[in-house]
Amino acid sequence: MQLDNIAVEVLRHQFEAFCGEGAATIKRTAVSPLVVEGGDYSCTLLDAKGNLVTGGGHIAYHFYAATNAIAGVFIEHGDDIQDGDVFLANDPHRGGGLHAQDIFVMKPVFARKVLVGWFANSSHLVDVGGMQPGSFAPEATDCFQEAVRLPAVKIMRAGVDQRDLWNILLNNVRMAHLVEMDIRGLMAGVDVGAAKLRELAERIGPDALQNGFDELNRRTEEAVRAEIALLEDGVYRSTSWTEWNEEKFRVPCTTTVEGDSIRFDFSGAAPQTQHFFNTKEYIVKGKIGVELQRLIGQDLPLNQGYYDAIAVYCPVGSMLNCTHPAPVGAAHLAASHDASEAALRTFHQAVAASPDSVSRPFLSSSQTMSGNCVVTFSGRGLSGATDSWIMIDGTALGSPAGNDRDGTDFNFYLVGRQAAIQTNDVEVTESWYPLRFNYRRRSCDASGAGQFRGGRGVDFEFTVDGSPLLTGNSIGGHGQIPMPGSAGADPGRPNAIELRDPDGGSTPIGVLAQGFTLPEGHSYAIRAAGGGGWGDPLDRDVAAVLADFEDGLITAEDASDVYGVDVSDGTTTSRSELLQQRLERADPALIEPVQVEVSETDSSRALPIASGVEQRGGFAVSVRSGAVLAQAPGHWTDGCPVLVEQLAGGVETRRYLDPGTGHVLHTEVAVTGEPRTFESSPARWSAWTGERIG
């Protein structure tokens, strides 16, 4: 049956409505604050073969992971899937989702005695066993220590609860009553979605329904590929690092654009480790798709067609595609976020080099999700019984800055529909748990300075109130490596955590720490990461600098030293002096200045290579000054003086300067000793064969 445009759109909105209703049901029937208040849940629709159709709820990262969970059902129960069955899985090594706490509940949907689709719902459970309350165990060295791990198992067979399975699961978790109620909420959500889909399939027939699924995916893939085709063919590279406190693990991404295809290749990623942030290729790909959708195909569903349009490769045995029994308790954090952000930086490089890309308005500095800082606590709760919970307040990071606007405060997205997860109201948290917030506010410093500054992360502190002792586990990222800026902007600030005593003393702890203690009256404080800026800070509008000063976000010294603005009268006379100081302090360029005149009216049309840099014939030229930076096919920064600043923990920033003016063209954040970690090589640049011009 051929579907016209109207029919496809009607079906699409019906599918999205089914997932929306299923997600709303989870919120209404689950119990724990992380699900009900924080929004850590999803409802995903897949076709009969397990291909992604669409999803609802806050956590879009679950959608592609659901394809792995349904594949696990087929592996374990391919010959025994009946109407009324409900399956449960949580092991990323064997048909699970993002990590063990993000349990999947899956229900096959039958109509006219034919399997027509699946609903797969997921949420974060308060505990799934293992060595630590809450099941986040940073010091676990294999997956056996982390949690009760289940492949796809039937918790309901033909509509009947399987009490043996329930008993095994609930006997091995803490706070079993909350765990059961949240799983029941997921089951209620799949029931609602399944009923809606069954009614539709009975009305139009299974074949017509599958045709609708296929057509929606086909059209989505076609539309995404059409936008990819507008990118400049070429190779784009970026490297990130995942931190284990002092250790650094490389996450390099090489992205190749060719025609209507794009491939994100993580060859060279660090080998899998005994740390709990090992992840899987399907998790990395799922995250990349979610982030890309904010830049390309924004009005398209995030379905199988979308994911089929992009290719992701993570070497087996690497930290990004680990094998059993590697620990995977934070498979959805740290390394997977670092990978998706490295991929997004390469995509931004490709867009910056592509004058016809529809994504150019959304160019920004690096995403900041890898800077998430969450913490789990356990101890005697307000009721007197043992309690455990996860606090997500540290996920209120600052977003990256855009090419035309400041970053968003308390949100790691600059472009998007909503935050991936919602921070609980202070009053809700205090009513559930033995703590009292002292403050939760926007940070004030010059973090992420730029022509447009990065978003502000949260500063917060709470004091233990109502429990003799709490034990905590910190699960965070980027305590030493800040989020990079773009187009010459400064990086944002890294995360910082302190434990404070009633007498005013403080003890810094790492962002990854297990088993620290807080007696009653002691406090826990976070300075959450901020986003990197966009553009040289000396190009920031004076009025914007003065507004930040008047709002208390920066000091007069910040305004003068970072932005070159005197807040007493708004003058910028020091900017020229700051530019000259940069050139005097910088290391020489890798190559001697190219002595050639390059005309703006050269017969080869000027085309972008990076922000503020364009290709004129076989030369890379600064748009601002006209200085020739490099000759093809060399790295476009070869002719830039480099201003290097050492940060803590063996990390440095490298500012690549316009040799003609001293303005910063690009700021790199890298581990000291590493070669350049970025590259933008459009095919027209790397394969240039034209004559020297001048």
Residue 691 pLDDT:
54
Least confident piece of the model among 135-144, 368-377, 529-538: 368-377
Nearest Cα neighbor of 330 from 150, 512, 178 is: 512
Per DSSP, what are the bridge partners of residue 620?
Answer: 615, 630
Structure tokens given for 139: 């010091």
Of the two residues 661 and 416, the one the predictor is more confident about is: 661
The CATH number that domain 227-361 falls under is 3.30.365
Q: pTM to 2 decimals?
A: 0.95
Exposure of 80 by Cβ count < 10 A (0-12 exposed, 13-18 middle, 19+ buried)?
Answer: exposed
Mean pLDDT computed over every residue of the chain: 94
Model pLDDT for residues 109-130, shown as the tens digit of each residue: 999 999 999 999 999 999 999 9
Cα 238 to Cα 280: distance, rounded to the nearest angstrom: 20
Exposure of 569 by Cβ count < 10 A (0-12 exposed, 13-18 middle, 19+ buried)?
Answer: exposed
pLDDT beyond 90 at 237: yes
Q: Is the dihedral of CA 218, 221, 226, 229 positive or negative?
A: negative
Q: Is the dihedral of CA 235, 239, 240, 244 positive or negative?
A: positive
Cis bond before residue 491 (omega within 30° of 0): no
Residue 349 pLDDT:
97
Residue 604 pLDDT:
54
8 Å CB contact between 443 and 457: yes
The model's confidence at residue 537, banded by pLDDT at 50, 70 and 90, is very high
Find the distance separating the first CA and the last CA of the chain, reported in whole Å. 61
Helix (H, G, I), strand (E, B) or coil at 200: helix
Per DSSP, what are the bridge partners of residue 653?
Answer: 645, 669
Residue 419 pLDDT:
55
The letter for the amino acid at 396 is A
H helix or E strand, kind and range, residue 559: helix 556-561
- Dmax (CA) for the chain in angstroms is 81
The 10 Å Cβ neighbour count of residue 666 is 25
Structure tokens given for 450: 């730029």
8 Å CB contact between 499 and 513: no
Helices and strands per DSSP (H, E), number in the chain:
14, 28
pLDDT beyond 90 at 55: yes
The 10 Å Cβ neighbour count of residue 384 is 9
Exposure of 77 by Cβ count < 10 A (0-12 exposed, 13-18 middle, 19+ buried)?
Answer: middle
The residue length of the chain stands at 694
Cα 44 to Cα 22: distance, rounded to the nearest angstrom: 9
Residue 420 pLDDT:
60
Cα 230 to Cα 257: distance, rounded to the nearest angstrom: 10
Residue 262, C-beta contacts closer than 8 angstroms, at least 6 positions apart: 228, 231, 255, 256, 309, 310, 311, 347, 350
8 Å CB contact between 123 and 30: yes
pLDDT beyond 50 at 364: yes
Structure tokens given for 336: 């997977």
The 10 Å Cβ neighbour count of residue 299 is 6
pLDDT beyond 60 at 693: no
8 Å CB contact between 591 and 639: yes
pLDDT average, residue stretch 433-441: 95
Least confident piece of the model among 110-114, 234-238, 421-425: 421-425
Residue 694 pLDDT:
36
Residue 599 pLDDT:
62
Per DSSP, what are the bridge partners of residue 446?
Answer: none
The model's confidence at residue 417, banded by pLDDT at 50, 70 and 90, is low
8 Å CB contact between 358 and 689: no
Cα 46 to Cα 50: distance, rounded to the nearest angstrom: 5
pLDDT beyond 80 at 13: yes
The model's confidence at residue 368, banded by pLDDT at 50, 70 and 90, is confident
Nearest Cα neighbor of 434 from 521, 500, 540, 368 is: 521
Phi, psi of 420 (to 5 degrees): -65, -30
Q: What are the sequence ranges of the domains in the chain? A: 5-133+142-204, 227-361, 364-540, 579-686
Of the two residues 372 and 349, the one the predictor is more confident about is: 349
Model pLDDT for residues 550-603, shown as the tens digit of each residue: 999 999 999 999 999 999 999 999 999 999 999 999 999 988 877 776 664 454
Cis bond before residue 675 (omega within 30° of 0): no
Residue 339 pLDDT:
97
Structure tokens given for 242: 């995942």
Residue 390 pLDDT:
87
8 Å CB contact between 39 and 50: no
8 Å CB contact between 677 and 238: yes
Q: 612-635 burial, b if ≥16 CB within 10 A, otherwise e? A: bbbbbbbbbbbbeeebbbbbbebb
Model pLDDT for residues 24-49, shown as the tens digit of each residue: 999 999 999 889 888 899 999 999 99
What does DSSP assign to residue 641? Answer: -
Of the two residues 413 and 106, the one the predictor is more confident about is: 106
Nearest Cα neighbor of 3 from 215, 217, 222, 209 is: 215
Nearest Cα neighbor of 28 from 247, 184, 252 is: 184
Please state whether 317 falls in left (phi above 0), alpha (psi between -120 and 50) or beta: left
The model's confidence at residue 412, banded by pLDDT at 50, 70 and 90, is confident
pLDDT beyond 60 at 5: yes
